[in-house]
Structure 1
Amino acid sequence: MKTWIHLLCAALAFSPALSLAEEAAGFRDLFNGKDLTGWVDVNTSPETWSVKDGLLVCKGMPIGVMRSEKQYENFILHIEWRHMEEGGNSGVFIWSNAAPAEGANLPMGLEVQMLELQWPYINREKDGSPKPLGYVSGELFGANGLEIIPDNPRGKRSMSYESRCKGKGEWNTYDVVAVDGVVKLSINGKFVNGVSGSTYRKGYLCLESEGAEIHFRNIRILELPSGMTTPEQTVPVLAPPGR
């Protein structure tokens, strides 16, 4: 039987294709490098998301999300990303309802923040000082109604204990372990952030378009056994596209 150490090592191992360890552990690709199979546009446009040279390219406009076809409960998610503009903003939502409220662009869910390093300096406070630097290294927070308990609080958000993200044009690797309302985030090979007590524990994955071009690759998931999630902690199932 595979141990947690084996599974986490497989999750953290970089490879342009599934490694033998990942295949043995049960990882599968969420992005095939060819098209958008497995993903559903929620409120962006046909031009927002495309595939080029094996990469998933998001141009950043309009602001909104693309969701996974199915819901996930307990899992390990591996995702690699790079911003192409200074101050770029994006993220991945987990346990999301993938259904923005009327007048809103983004859904409920636990957001794993993806910001380019210059974001706090480009989006300054009213007094001219930079926004908190904790924003830019994988901050975790409940968006639009989802509540969490932060490991390293910045208000209701949890900021990483260590800044590990790279800047414009450089690839970053996130490994997200999500089990029974607890989330741990590894950034570029080290676990540095986490939350617990999520009010929702089963839902959709969403990739965010928020104003700047961002690229994704090697999006993989290992589904883990179900846990203690109740119906009240599960988001509503959305109808398949076209229905």
Structure 2
Amino acid sequence: MAEWWSTLDINGWSIAGIVVTLLATWILARLSRRGARAAMARVPSLDDGVRLLAERVVGYTVWLIGIGIALSFLGGSVQPILAIALVVAVVLVFVLRGIADNFAASVVLQTRHPVGVGDELEVGDVVGVVTELNGRSVIVRSYDGRTVHLPNSQLLTEAFSNNSAHGARRSEIEVRAAASGTPRELIVEAVSGTHGVHRRETIQLRPITIGPDREVYRVRFWHHPANGVAVTAAVVDAVATALAERGIGAVVTSEPPPPPLVAPTEF
């Protein structure tokens, strides 16, 4: 450090240059922070902590550059300053890596709008309604009462489903009737008359098994994305009641069982 001080050339011109440089740096730092604040304001979901951090990083960067230029007026080496700046930059990269990734992902989510507040989001085993979008995470209220914070970067690296994108979602039930000749129009009428089932989409009834003593059908219908459980339960009740009133023994379920195992062919 003593050798570095001995290389400095301090005179009136160098001091004047330092004063002018530091004054210009102060003005430029203030303008840069204002610019960063205006840029952050375009992303309304960012919280105040992230905005303040971005402003400070921009201001400190301008000051480091200004101090390096000021030292050049003294004829001193700026390598120590550059080394310190490099070390600080490396530390910030490792410390703020997660924050930076989530911040960048937040900007992408805000510009592309793949999800929004009120949408039903499904990521892995998390299914719920989006309640908030901020600079770090997407907050989801799951149907089992949990509040889940999903990092923004996770939505860019993993597949997710926005079940509310089209305003409707399809569900299905399975009807297994013991007698043959089950009136299919009776099943469709019971489904269409259930509260919550959409009328604008067609109800699909697909035969799975038709035999002399058993018939199996899959019935598909559409409903609001957030009302799937309630509407499906109501459909099961309506179909079971309609078949029972006709004296048709049947099993109606919203969770079709897996197909039976088939023995390998013997040669």
TM-score w.r.t. length of structure 1? 0.21
TM-score w.r.t. length of structure 2? 0.19
Higher helix share: 2
Structure whose CA Rg is larger: 2
Q: Which has the higher contact order (CA 8 A, sep 6+)?
A: 1
Higher strand share: 1
